[in-house]
Homo-oligomer: A and B are copies of this chain.
């Protein structure tokens, strides 16, 4: 095994109020950098670039510290922490945002501690592409840059997003975003089109249907782990990214086919733990062994032989 590389994440840290058919939480720890960071911390050292307000509960900082996360880049700004509230429908594939308060996130600019500047693995979580560029501009072309985004930025900040894409190796997005970005009527054509924009690997996230990745070698499909009692899908995509990028960072940041496929299976496994509980709670008490057991279950879930066994 290669030695684990540190992973830098820039994203949001939020207080989430969430209601799902399984229950509800008020002002629980959330945000892309929180989900990603806690997930990736099981694989590698995590460096966080984000902002919270002066009201951010100390116990959430303790959560990060207990996971060994480096919070030198976590700024505290005068004001209230970013808040999000949402409610999920009965089948949990549909959610409605009730409230978004950007608060201190509105004026956020990533201020990178000098100790972060050599980070070899970078996850640009779903934030303004202008901020994603500010991060990359402070660094010296990290060998592994992974990007997330959302439909809002595709329409409102397209040129900046395209500038980010040219500097990215792996891009995670969903079907709708892929088609919106390229204008393609088919997600496969969209993924091909996105590869022309920069990233050599495009991962289409499909929630309970798993993920479909276009790599240098072709397509790879990883199923989601079937859960009969999902609790809260919030942050599943960021947890997926945390498992994937964490695994890659732990194994030298190499993007060959075996690393990517096993990394994507780790992403699917970690995402399933996230959905099994509210907030980041399902991601806290994991071990690599626990994750690897689920990766094996995911492997067994889709495994079949091309020949039937001989019968007596």
Contact = CB atoms under 8 A, between A and B. Distances in A.
So how many copies of this chain end up in the complex?
2
Nearest to A221: B223
B304 A185 contact: no
A227 interface: yes
A223 B223 contact: yes
Interface stretch (A149-157, A206-214, A281-289): A206-214
A91 interface: yes
A223 B218 CA distance: 15
A295 interface: yes
A188 B258 contact: no
Contacts of A206: 209
Contact of A228 (B186, B228, B229, B295): B186
A259 interface: yes
Given A21-B185, A223-B223, A299-B304, A258 B212 contact: no
A267 B251 CA distance: 37
Given A226-B188, A226-B212, A226-B219, A302 B305 contact: no
A306 B262 contact: yes
Contacts of A251: 308
A305 B262 CA distance: 7
A226 B209 CA distance: 14
Contact of A302 (B21, B302, B309): B302
Contacts of A220: 301-302, 304
A261 B229 CA distance: 25
A185 B226 contact: no
Interface in A251-272: 251, 258-259, 261-262, 264-265
Given A301-B220, A306-B296, A185 B90 contact: yes
B226 A304 contact: no
Contacts of A230: 186
B301 A221 contact: yes
Interface string A228-239: 111000000000
Contacts of A158: none
Given A185-B21, A226-B212, A219 B261 contact: no
A128 interface: no
A228 B189 contact: yes
6 contacts: A186-B229, A210-B223, A221-B226, A292-B306, A299-B306, A303-B303
Interface of A: 21, 90-91, 179, 185-186, 188-189, 192, 206, 209-210, 212, 219-223, 226-230, 251, 258-259, 261-262, 264-265, 292, 295-296, 299, 301-306, 308-309
Top 10 A-B pairs ranked by shortest CB distance?
Answer: A221-B223, A261-B304, A209-B209, A188-B228, A302-B302, A221-B302, A90-B185, A221-B301, A219-B226, A188-B226
